[in-house]
Amino acid sequence: MNYYEYDVEDFLADDYFKNWVIFPDEENEAFWRHFLSEFPEKYHTIETSRTLVTELYHLNEKEIPQESSDAVWQRIDATLQENKRSFRIPLWFNPQTAAASIGITLAVGLLWMLYTHHWIPPLMLSNDSKLEWVQIVNKNKPGIDIKLADGSQVYLHQNSTLKYPKNFAEAPLRQVTLEGMARFDIHKDPSRPFLVYAQGLVTKVLGTSFIVKAPKGDTKVTVSVNSGKVSLYSKREESKAAENGIVLTPNQQAVFETKTTTFAKSVVDHPEVLDKVAPPSFYFNNESAVNIFKSIEQAYGIDILYDEELMSRCKLNLDISQEDLYQKLNIVCKVLNARFEMIDAKIIIYSPGC
Amino acid sequence: MLTDNSNMLDIALWNAFRKGDYHAFNKIYERYSKDLLSYGLKITNDIQLTEDSLHDLFIDLWTSRKNLSDTNSIKFYLFKALRNKISNAKTRDHFYQMKDLSTETANADEFVIETYLIDTETQNHLEYQLKKNFQQLSPRQQQALNLRFYHHFKNEEIAEIMGVNYQSACKFIYSGIKALKEAVRILSIFLLANF
Nearest Cα residue in chain A from B18: A102
Interchain proximity A227–B67, CB inside 8 Å: yes
Kindly report the nearest CA distance between residue A70 and chain B, in angstroms: 9
Interchain proximity A72–B51, CB inside 8 Å: yes
Interchain proximity B180–A52, CB inside 8 Å: yes
Kindly report the nearest CA distance between residue B25 and chain A, in angstroms: 10
State which of B92, B127, B155 marks the end of a domain.
Answer: B92
Instruction: Output the average pLDDT for chain B.
Output: 77
In this prediction, does ipTM exceed 0.90? no
pLDDT at A113: 33
In this prediction, residues B150-159 reach a mean pLDDT of: 90
Nearest Cα residue in chain B from A274: B67
Interface test with A, best of B37, B149, B158 (most A CBs within 10 A): B149
- Are residue B123 and residue B158 in the same domain, yes or no? yes
- Are residue B20 and residue B66 in the same domain, yes or no? yes
Of the pLDDT bands very low, low, confident and very high (cuts 50, 70, 90), residue A44 is confident
Q: Could you tell me if A58 lies within 8 Å of chain B, comparing CB atoms?
A: yes
Q: Could you tell me if A94 lies within 8 Å of chain B, comparing CB atoms?
A: no
User: H or E segment at A222?
Assistant: strand A220-224
**Burial (CB count within 10 angstroms: exposed 0-12, middle 13-18, buried 19+), residue A113:** exposed
Instruction: In whole angstroms, give the CA distance from residue A17 to residue A10.
Output: 9
pLDDT at B26: 93
User: Which CATH number do you get for residue B121?
Assistant: 1.10.10.10
Interface of B with A in 38-77 (CB under 8 A): 38, 41-42, 47, 51, 54-55, 57-68, 77
Is B166 part of any domain? yes
Report how many domains make up chain B. 2
Of the pLDDT bands very low, low, confident and very high (cuts 50, 70, 90), residue A97 is very low
Describe the strand order of the beta sheet including A339-343 as a list of residue ranges: A304-305, A346-350, A339-343
pLDDT tops 90 at residue B65: no
Interface of B with A in 1-30 (CB under 8 A): 1, 26, 29-30
Is B137 part of any domain? yes
Instruction: In whole angstroms, give the CA distance from residue B21 to residue B11.
Output: 13
The larger pLDDT score, comparing residue B90 to residue A210, is at B90
Is B100 part of any domain? no
The larger pLDDT score, comparing residue B142 to residue A131, is at B142
pLDDT tops 60 at residue A125: no
State which of B66, B92, B118 marks the end of a domain.
Answer: B92
Of the pLDDT bands very low, low, confident and very high (cuts 50, 70, 90), residue B193 is low
User: H or E segment at B184?
Assistant: helix B166-194
Is B102 part of any domain? no
In this prediction, residues A316-340 reach a mean pLDDT of: 89
pLDDT at B113: 36
pLDDT tops 80 at residue A219: no
Quote the pTM value.
Answer: 0.47
Nearest Cα residue in chain A from B178: A9
Interchain proximity B188–A283, CB inside 8 Å: no
Q: Could you tell me if A55 lies within 8 Å of chain B, comparing CB atoms?
A: yes
pLDDT at A73: 93
Q: Could you tell me if B135 lies within 8 Å of chain A, comparing CB atoms?
A: no
Instruction: Sort out which chain B residues have CB atoms less than 8 A from A60's CB and list them.
Output: 42, 145-146, 149-150
Interface of A with B in 108-147 (CB under 8 A): none
Task: Select the residue of B154, B181, B192 nearest A9 (Cβ to Cβ).
Answer: B181
pLDDT at A102: 35
Instruction: Sort out which chain B residues have CB atoms less than 8 A from A96's CB and list them.
Output: 60
Is B41 part of any domain? yes
Instruction: In whole angstroms, give the CA distance from residue B178 to residue A52.
Output: 11
Interchain proximity A99–B84, CB inside 8 Å: no
Is B72 part of any domain? yes
Is B98 part of any domain? no
Of the pLDDT bands very low, low, confident and very high (cuts 50, 70, 90), residue A213 is low
pLDDT at B32: 92
Instruction: In whole angstroms, give the CA distance from residue A237 to residue A241.
Output: 6
pLDDT at A227: 67
- Are residue B85 and residue B119 in the same domain, yes or no? no
Of the pLDDT bands very low, low, confident and very high (cuts 50, 70, 90), residue B123 is low
Q: How far apart, in Å, do the first and last CA atoms of chain B sit?
A: 30
Is B165 part of any domain? yes
Interface test with A, best of B41, B83, B98, B185 (most A CBs within 10 A): B185
Interchain proximity B170–A79, CB inside 8 Å: no
pLDDT tops 50 at residue A89: no
Interface test with B, best of A69, A91, A92, A211 (most B CBs within 10 A): A69
Interchain proximity A69–B33, CB inside 8 Å: yes
pLDDT tops 50 at residue A119: no
Bridge pairing between strands A346-350 and A304-305: parallel
pLDDT at A278: 82
CA distances from A330 to A317, A333, B162 (A): 15, 5, 25
Interchain proximity A80–B65, CB inside 8 Å: no
- Are residue B53 and residue B117 in the same domain, yes or no? no
Nearest Cα residue in chain B from A10: B174
Instruction: In whole angstroms, give the CA distance from residue B133 to residue A71.
Output: 35
Of the pLDDT bands very low, low, confident and very high (cuts 50, 70, 90), residue A117 is very low
Instruction: In whole angstroms, give the CA distance from residue B87 to residue A307.
Output: 35
Instruction: Sort out which chain A residues have CB atoms less than 8 A from B80's CB and list them.
Output: 278
- Are residue B116 and residue B189 in the same domain, yes or no? yes
Nearest Cα residue in chain B from A51: B188
The larger pLDDT score, comparing residue B193 to residue A123, is at B193
Interchain proximity B68–A277, CB inside 8 Å: yes
In this prediction, residues B96-101 reach a mean pLDDT of: 46
Instruction: Output the average pLDDT for chain A.
Output: 77
pLDDT at B173: 92
Are A188 and A109 in contact by the 8 Å Cβ rule? The answer is no
For residue B152, the enclosing domain spans 110-194
Kindly report the nearest CA distance between residue B26 and chain A, in angstroms: 8
pLDDT at A206: 58
Instruction: Sort out which chain B residues have CB atoms less than 8 A from A286's CB and list them.
Output: 167
DSSP string, A24-92: --HHHHHHHHHHHHH-GGGHHHHHHHHHHHHHHHHHT--PPPHHHHHHHHHHHHHHHHHHHHS--TTTT
In whole angstroms, how large is the CA radius of gyration of chain B? Answer: 19
pLDDT at A85: 56
Kindly report the nearest CA distance between residue B47 and chain A, in angstroms: 10
pLDDT at A109: 37
Instruction: In whole angstroms, give the CA distance from residue A210 to residue A183.
Output: 11
pLDDT tops 90 at residue B28: yes
State which of B34, B63, B92 marks the end of a domain.
Answer: B92
User: Which CATH number do you get for residue B75?
Assistant: 1.10.1740.10
Say what percent of chain A tops pLDDT 70. 80
In this prediction, residues B159-166 reach a mean pLDDT of: 90
Q: Could you tell me if A48 lies within 8 Å of chain B, comparing CB atoms?
A: yes
Interface test with A, best of B132, B157, B177 (most A CBs within 10 A): B177
Are B194 and B122 in contact by the 8 Å Cβ rule? The answer is yes
DSSP string, A245-304: -EEE-TTEEEEEETTTTEEEEEE-SS---S--SSPPP-EEEEEEHHHHHHHHHHHHT--E
Give the model confidence (pLDDT) of A128-186 as tens digits.
Answer: 556 788 888 888 888 888 888 888 878 888 888 888 888 876 677 888 888 777 777 77
pLDDT at A222: 77
Determine which of A49-53, A201-205, A241-245, B187-191 has the lowest per-residue pLDDT on average.
B187-191
pLDDT at A198: 77
Q: How far apart, in Å, do the first and last CA atoms of chain A sit?
A: 37
Instruction: In whole angstroms, give the CA distance from residue B32 to residue B78.
Output: 8
Of the pLDDT bands very low, low, confident and very high (cuts 50, 70, 90), residue A59 is confident
List the alpha helices (DSSP H) in B45-153: 47-63, 74-92, 110-113, 122-136, 139-149
pLDDT at B185: 64
pLDDT at A235: 79
Instruction: In whole angstroms, give the CA distance from residue A178 to residue A122.
Output: 9
Give the model confidence (pLDDT) of A6-37 as tens digits.
Answer: 988 889 888 899 989 988 888 888 899 899 88
**Burial (CB count within 10 angstroms: exposed 0-12, middle 13-18, buried 19+), residue A292:** buried
- Are residue B121 and residue B88 in the same domain, yes or no? no
- Are residue B118 and residue B183 in the same domain, yes or no? yes
Give the model confidence (pLDDT) of A282-324 as tens digits.
Answer: 988 888 999 999 999 999 989 998 888 888 888 888 889 888 9
Are A353 and A337 in contact by the 8 Å Cβ rule? The answer is no
- Are residue B27 and residue B61 in the same domain, yes or no? yes
In this prediction, residues A244-273 reach a mean pLDDT of: 83
User: Which residues have CB under 8 Å from B87's CB, separation 6+?
Assistant: B98, B163
Instruction: In whole angstroms, give the CA distance from residue A130 to residue A122.
Output: 14
pLDDT at B190: 58
In this prediction, residues B53-81 reach a mean pLDDT of: 88
